[in-house]
Amino acid sequence: MKNRLKVLRAERDWSQEDLARQLEVSRQSVNAIETGRYDPSLPLAFRIAELFGMPIESIFLRD
């Protein structure tokens, strides 16, 4: 699944570690989601959407 996570994170000047800390996941998880190697669970996707104040479908896109 494609996503805009890296762009949204960069717009806020957050490192992967900063985002991981806020989401309570590892930096490696953030990296894997950003690069499309891992699709987040639904609860994690909701936490990401809430953190950025956006609907899930604005962050995660169909291939």
Give the separation between CA 30 and CA 57, rounded to whole angstroms: 18
Threshold 0.75, pTM exceeds: yes
Return the bridge partners of 60, or none.
3
Backbone angles phi, psi at 37, to 5 degrees: -85, -15
pLDDT at 28: 98
**Spatial CB neighbours of 26, under 8 Å, sequence gap ≥ 6:** 20
- Please report how the helices 16-23 and 42-52 are oriented relative to each other, as an axis angle in degrees rounded to 10: 110
Fold of 2-52: 434 Repressor (Amino-terminal Domain) (1.10.260)
With a cut of 90, say whether residue 63 has pLDDT above it.
Answer: no
Give the pLDDT band of residue 30 (cuts 50, 70, 90).
very high
pLDDT digits (tens, 9 = 90+) for 7-19: 999 999 999 999 9
Q: Which two tokens stand for residue 46?
A: 């909701």
